[in-house]
Amino acid sequence: KAGVTQTPRYLIKTRGQQVTLSCSPISGHRSVSWYQQTPGQGLQFLFEYFSETQRNKGNFPGRFSGRQFSNSRSEMNVSTLELGDSALYLCASSLEGGLPYYSYEQYFGPGTRLTVT
Amino acid sequence: EDKVVQSPLSLVVHEGDTVTLNCSYEVTNFRSLLWYKQEKKAPTFLFMLTSSGIEKKSGRLSSILDKKELFSILNITATQTGDSAVYLCAVEAVVGGGADGLTFGKGTHLIIQP
């Protein structure tokens, strides 16, 4: 069974631009969560999608948004990029969403390394 | 604000040693505590703990939760160089009818020297 895939793997953008990251979950998984990982803040939860609906959201500004399609693939968008948005963005999928399944046995993708200059 | 603190932040030991990694938390409406291992790629799931005092074991790794004192430990016995990684602790909290996401600690960077 193929794992979680994320595209692109690396991305360089300039301040003020916007970016869209893509995540394809493991086949059959319906929950997709997004995380931001930086050396300073560690791993931080962005949001979780289940059946095309955002179920949970972390403490990030509105510039960070996402969506999920009917085939469970998910995209994350960051608008008006700032230097501090440089990070590894991880996507994780799980079979079910909600309590407590989306956190239990999540499978992470390899991440997208975003550099903002 | 939910908080998860891991200690030590880094640890260097020799192969064969036993290590104990700590995770303390302050969250509202605790649901579960999870441990992940992160090498040079994305985290992999180790354990999920919801009840106090019940040890979870997987090979040389074990973990236990104390919900009264709000902490968990991860033990690794007979360490091997392949255990070198960042070990992440995360806590899931409940808000309303759904989970409130995971709050992660900064991780413990464990280095096993041959």
Q: What is the pLDDT of residues A9-56, one digit of tens each?
A: 999 999 999 999 999 999 988 889 999 999 888 888 898 898 899 887
| b/e per residue A2-22 (b: at least 16 CB within 10 A) | eebebeeeeeebeeeeebebe
What phi and psi values does residue A97 have, to the nearest 5 degrees? -115, 180
Amino acid at B85: A
Among the partner-chain residues B88, B99, B106, the one whose CB lies closest to the CB of A99 is B99
Region of A65 (left: φ > 0; alpha: ψ -120 to 50; beta: rest) is: beta
Taking only the tens place, the pLDDT of each residue in B70-105 is: 999 999 999 999 999 999 999 887 755 454 567 889
- Residues of chain B contacting A103 with CB distance shorter than 8 Å: 32, 34, 48, 90, 92, 99, 102
* Selected residue with higher pLDDT from A2 and A11: A11
Mean pLDDT of A71-89: 96
B99/A105 touch (CB, cutoff 8 Å), yes or no:
no
Round to whole Å and give the CA distance between B75 and B47.
12
Alpha-carbon dihedral angle through residues B98, B100, B104, B105, given to the nearest 10 degrees:
-120
Q: CA nearest A39 in B: which residue?
A: B106
Residue range B34-76, pLDDT digits in tens: 999 998 778 888 998 988 999 999 999 999 999 999 999 999 9
